[in-house]
Amino acid sequence: MTILARSQAIGKPKPSKAQIARWIEGYLFAAPFIIGFVVFIAFPMAFSIYLVFHKWNLLTEPEFIGLGNILQLFADPKAGASMWATGMYAFVSTIIQVVFAFFLAILLNEKINFRNFYRTALYLPVIVPIVVSAFIWQRAYHPDFGIINEFLRWFGIAPRAWLFETELALGAFIFMRIWSMGTMMVVFLAGLQNVPESLKEAAAIDGAGILQRFWNITVPLMTPTIFFNLVVGIINSFQVFAPALIMTKGGPQDATLFMVLYIYRQGFEYLNMGYSATLAWLLFLVIVIFTIIQFRMSERWVYYEGG
């Protein structure tokens, strides 16, 4: 039904030519987004749902196999191990990032010498390309020449093969992610600007100490910002891919076989696109579930000024 027909059906006056022209102009201005959304998001998602029920190797026609990919998912031990490693990396690294970023933001919110220099220096790792960052950390973790082992030698600690030992590889990736906490720090700095100084001054007059003002004023007013960084950080961490591909290729013994890397391996190395799409939808559902849980839990500890 056209716009004119809808207007006549509900008893509204027929739109003028000027209104129709404005509508057309609006759709034309929105066309780049609409086309981009359809081509790069809506269609790939719809096609991936189609692939969940098919077997396809990129070379032949897709073959319908019903629930075969889903049954394979439940029987695949690597899928569970990959999701566990991804979840551990996402939650542990994000929590550590949030704590460090919040602490540094509080320090850099004070009037100290060279404050702008420190802010810039701590943000620089964010703009370093992921591939370059991966090679830098691969060198830093080198068992013989890495700077981390050289630093530990000063304290009499024997060097370790961080990326080649199953019990250390995941922790090495978690530690590596702390380096890129600049974005969270900037968000926290922006949030700290909105904490009213009058409240701190009033609390100080009432005899509240620094820690009391921090826990009872700063932290409650910063909980929306903390919540935002947690949600965004966990979502981004679940999508870790390039560092594992470059540094360990999922090893040792699949200790760093993160979910996106496993999806890539199934799709483009094993040419099992149907099962790869199934793994992708599993990851999507897990991210959605954890995001909903975080929003539900936020009602207990996130405080907004208007509520």
Would you list the domain boundaries of the chain?
16-68, 70-301
| Residue 181: partners with Cβ closer than 8 Å, 6 or more residues away | 97, 100, 101, 104, 122
| Cβ atoms of residues 245 and 117 within 8 Å | no
Question: pLDDT digit string (tens) for 237-260?
Answer: 999 999 999 999 998 999 999 999
Identify the DSSP state of 248.
T
**Which of 3.40.50.1370, 1.10.287.3510, 3.90.1170.20, 1.10.3720.10 would CATH assign to domain 70-301?**
1.10.3720.10
CA 118 – CA 116 distance, rounded (Å): 5
Q: What is the reported pLDDT for 11?
A: 56
| Cβ atoms of residues 65 and 72 within 8 Å | no
- Tokens matching residue 270: 């094993």
User: Low-confidence residues of the chain, pLDDT below 70?
Assistant: 1-12, 305-307
